[in-house]
Amino acid sequence: MIGELIKGLGVTIKHALTSKRVTIEYPEQKRTLGPRARWRHVLLRHEDGLERCIGCSLCAGACPARCILVEAAENREGARYSPGERYAKVYEINMLRCIFCGYCQDACPVEAIILRPIYEISEYTRDAEIYTKDMLLMPYPNPQTEDLGNTNA
Amino acid sequence: MPDEVTLTIDGKQITVPKGTLVIEAAKKLGIDIPVFCYHTKLEPVGACRQCLVKIEGFPKPQVSCSTQVAEGMVVHVNTPEVKQMWESMLEFLLINHPLDCPVCDRGGECPLQDNTFKYGPPDSRFEHEKRHFEKPVPLSSLVLLDRERCILCFRCVRFQREIADQPDIYVANRGYGDYIDIFPGKPFESNFSGNTIELCPVGALLSSLFRFRARPWEITKTESICPNCGVGCNITIDDRRRRYVVRFLARINDEVNEHWLCDRGRFNSHTINDPDRLVKPLVRKNGELQEATWEEALTVALEGMRAAGSHAGGIGSPARTNEANYLFQKFMRQVIGTNNVDYTFEKRTDGSTGALASAIASVFFNGRISDIAESDAILCLGSDISYDLPLLDLWIKKAVRKLGKNLVFAYPLKAELAKYARPFLSYHYGQEAEFTRELASAVSGTSWQPLAGVRMEDIDLASEVLKSANYVTVMVAKSMIESAENGRDVLKSLQWIADSLKSRNVRVQVMLLVQGANTFGAMDVGLLPGYLPGYKPADKGLTGWEMLEKAGSDISALWIMGQNPARDLFHTEAFTAALQKLDMLVVQDHILTETARYAHVVLPSSTFAETEGTFTNTERRIQRINPAIRRVGNSKADTDIIIEAASLAGADFNYSKVEEILTEISNTVPQYQGVTFDAIGPFGRYLGDLK
């Protein structure tokens, strides 16, 4: 019986010494994601800084998890957020409910919302998991590459 | 039969009355034809050309919405040729219609969108730039026009012209240049303008209050009743996330409001969504209203009310449900021990309440709204219907303009309906009794003298109109009986008119025009001084007016549910002074009204959009209201507040559901016998002919 034990332990030790390591030392080291990885949403802007989102709520309509809330309002003189008449005054995504299916991206008629490989979305409270518009929107005027997430990190 | 026609549609035979439109015959067979300009309640025009069908014998396709059926007609609908025509029509309409559905309020409930999905072309072949106009153009503060989206079906213009007879909007220019516009310098002021928004088959006419507030698929719909006047129009409350109301839409009920709503009812969601809604009970401590718990507030209120005992008073509301008003009077009478209960603080003349109550109990008021258009003559007394009960104004216009019936309109001022009247009788204010007696004398053939400022020949003409009819509708404002000098005589004269007409074999129906959504119900359930539920006589009590008059002397505590006497049109100062004399003023309302500012205890209650219950309208049709949104903060339904107060006082008010209160009402009030939520149904139940 002891012989079998040693034999089995031998297999374990052999694998430990010879095979390639699969563990990654996160957060010092980050996993390379696939080119089409879908994680956190980003709301894009036009080149002139106006928001692409027109607040049409089609993303919320397409969302199978019902995790998007859009409340629209009208662009007015001196307070223009997007081209056209309508913009999203409130845009919230509940990241706990989101299943990252990408239907919102699919439904968007103005290509305003995209899912990027930004997977570091853990928070300490449930409330903090409701991402608001200013968290989702691309910064302007100085967007950084990491704002869109990097597939090769 | 000569008045019937048999035709064939898609190989199926159908027999319909002569004059039926092809599209209506097809609808009876369950054959769907896409339409834009056609509407059941509007005259056909054939403007949009969408409903083309093939009729044998005609060389070209015909519009089914304005072609009448003929004997032996053979119609083809579901053929590739007709489908091709529909597709081409849609492609044609879409040439100039922008594809901005994502930002359009109609997107999701748009007939143009639906028909395009069903019958339209898969793609557009139009390569050029579409038309562009300034948008949106405000036609009024409520209605906005997006000219790019208009497909020129003219439903809005036709509604204003045919139904409302307030043609404030028109079609400008001709042909390709057509557009809907208002006359220069004259805004779209019709009090039915909101209906054009609902009629619009695209997103061309928009509500400024609903614009961008919700997409149709985010809306939850709840069937309810408009609480703004006595007609009791059927509405759907559209809300978002059960949190706030985004709009009211008309719900079709052919016996009450048909397809329409007035603007006062339609655009009235702001009080429900008011950011200053009361969320916690308030109790006056050291001279200031401070937040308190329910138990604390109710204990203070009960203490004050019970200390007053028979010197306490309760004023309910004609805008609260039957259930709330019933419990309120029961609570006042049994728990507080006072006979001073009323639903209003209007001034009423002595004895008029009793006269009215016995007239109601003897089923004198047996009129039906849907019979207005059936009767040959309409006698309308003492009410500016266009303002007081706007939907009845549409019924009268339909009877007079479309069906050629006669209107006798009696009102001191030249109100909107005066121009349809034959004759219009403008009696002097304060001489209602004299005037009605003159009219009654003329109808019965007794001699009389003109005293009320109406010419003799006008009254004679009116009596001729009434006598020559087969069916007469008499509509009388409750204020004419209750508030007018000698209002009891008005009622007597009315009974005289009805009796004289009946003796000439004229069918007569009489309607009592009340202003509150539930005035009739409040009276029925016994919220009347001196009358128990079902108009059973009780010990005499003070009316609301008297309670305020005697505040500080005979009345030391008042409980006011859903009323605001401190903002009364004529008596603000007197009422405000009266309220300040009270030892205890309890106000139950959803916002801090002017009256609530003087209260010792303020109890936050629900609006009709959060409440379950029933309203009884001016023809005594009992209809259900349903809760659409969640209760705001710690506010409670009126019924729950009273039940809680009663149980704190140790009384046995055991109701676990609102329906149990209704069951008790139906057992107590003979006119409501057998009424349950199920028996009421979606369109209400008419109780006006029950004794």
- Write down the pLDDT at residue A148: 80
User: Is the CB of residue A26 less than 8 Å from the CB of residue A61?
Assistant: no
- Write down the pLDDT at residue B422: 87
Is residue A26 a part of any domain in this protein?
Answer: no
Q: Which of B102, B135, B211 sits opposite A109 (nearest CB)?
A: B102
Is residue A14 a part of any domain in this protein?
Answer: no
Which pair of tokens denotes residue B127? 């390569």
Is residue A128 a part of any domain in this protein?
Answer: yes
Chain A interface, mutation test: which of B99, B103, B106, most A Cβ atoms within 10 Å?
B103
Instruction: Answer whether B218 touches A (CB < 8 Å).
Output: yes
Test B212 with A110 for CB contact under 8 angstroms: no
Asked if residue A20 has pLDDT above 90, the reply is: no
Is residue A35 a part of any domain in this protein?
Answer: yes
As a whole number of angstroms, the distance between CA B227 and CA B248 comes to: 12
Residues of A in contact with B103 (CB under 8 A): 54-56, 84-86
Test B136 with A85 for CB contact under 8 angstroms: yes
CA distance A56 to chain B (A): 5
Instruction: Say which CATH number the domain at A39 has.
Output: 3.30.70.3270
Q: Which of A58, A60, A72 sits opposite B212 (nearest CB)?
A: A72
Q: Which residues contact B438 (CB under 8 A, 6 or more apart)?
A: B448, B449, B450, B451, B452, B454, B459
Instruction: Answer whether A136 touches B (CB < 8 Å).
Output: no
Is residue A82 a part of any domain in this protein?
Answer: yes
**Rounded (5°) CA angle B141-B100-A90:** 70
Q: What is the mean pLDDT of residues B606-625?
A: 95
As a whole number of angstroms, the distance between CA B227 and CA B205 comes to: 25
Residues of B in contact with A109 (CB under 8 A): 102
Residue of B nearest to A70 (CA): B214
Residues spanned by the domain of A113: 31-148
Counting one residue from A and one from B, how many pairs have CB atoms under 8 Å apart?
Answer: 33
Task: Of B159-168, B481-490, B582-591, give the lowest mean pLDDT range.
Answer: B481-490
Task: Of B395-399, B486-490, B497-501, B573-577, give the lowest mean pLDDT range.
Answer: B486-490
- Write down the pLDDT at residue A151: 58
As a whole number of angstroms, the distance between CA A64 and CA A106 comes to: 13
Residue of B nearest to A110 (CA): B102
Q: Say which DSSP state B551 is in.
A: B
Q: Where are the alpha helices (DSSP H) in B285-413?
A: 294-308, 322-330, 352-361, 385-388, 390-397
As a whole number of angstroms, the distance between CA B53 and CA B41 comes to: 22
Q: With a CB-CB cutoff of 8 Å, which residues 74-113 of chain A face chain B?
A: 74, 84-86, 109-110
Is residue A89 a part of any domain in this protein?
Answer: yes
Residues of A in contact with B135 (CB under 8 A): 85
Asked if residue B2 has pLDDT above 80, the reply is: no
Q: Which of B619, B542, B22, B577 is nearest to B366 (CA)?
A: B619
Domains along the sequence of chain B with CATH: 4-78 (3.10.20.740), 95-207 (3.30.70.20), 282-343+527-686 (3.40.50.740), 353-513 (3.40.228.10)
Kindly report, residue by residue over B84-125, the tens digit of the pLDDT.
999 999 999 999 899 999 999 999 999 999 999 999 999 889
CA distance A119 to chain B (A): 29
Kindly report, residue by residue over B444-464, the tens digit of the pLDDT.
998 888 888 899 999 999 999
| DSSP string of chain A, one letter each residue | -HHHHHHHHHHHHHHHHHSPP----TTTS-PPPPTT---SEEE-B-TTS-BS-----HHHHH-TT--EEEEEEE-BTTB--SSSSEEEEEEEEETTT-----HHHHH-TT--EEE-S------SSSGGGEE-HHHHBPPSS---GGGG--TT-
Kindly report, residue by residue over B122-180, the tens digit of the pLDDT.
988 999 999 899 989 999 999 999 999 999 999 999 999 999 999 999 999 998 889 99
Q: Which of B103, B212, B217 sits opposite A61 (nearest CB)?
A: B217
Is residue A143 a part of any domain in this protein?
Answer: yes
Instruction: Answer whether B103 touches A (CB < 8 Å).
Output: yes
pLDDT range class, residue B351, cuts 50, 70, 90: confident
pLDDT range class, residue B430, cuts 50, 70, 90: confident
Test A61 with B218 for CB contact under 8 angstroms: yes
User: Is the CB of residue B90 less than 8 Å from the CB of residue B50?
Assistant: yes
Q: What is the ipTM of this complex?
A: 0.85
Instruction: Answer whether B132 touches A (CB < 8 Å).
Output: no
CA distance B17 to chain A (A): 45
Residues of A in contact with B219 (CB under 8 A): none
In total, how many domains does chain A have? 1
What is the edge-to-edge ordering of all strands in the sheet holding A130-131? A68-74, A86-94, A130-131
pLDDT range class, residue B69, cuts 50, 70, 90: very high
Kindly report, residue by residue over B253-268, the tens digit of the pLDDT.
999 999 999 999 999 9
- Write down the pLDDT at residue B1: 52
Length of chain B, please? 691
Test A60 with B135 for CB contact under 8 angstroms: no
Is residue A6 a part of any domain in this protein?
Answer: no
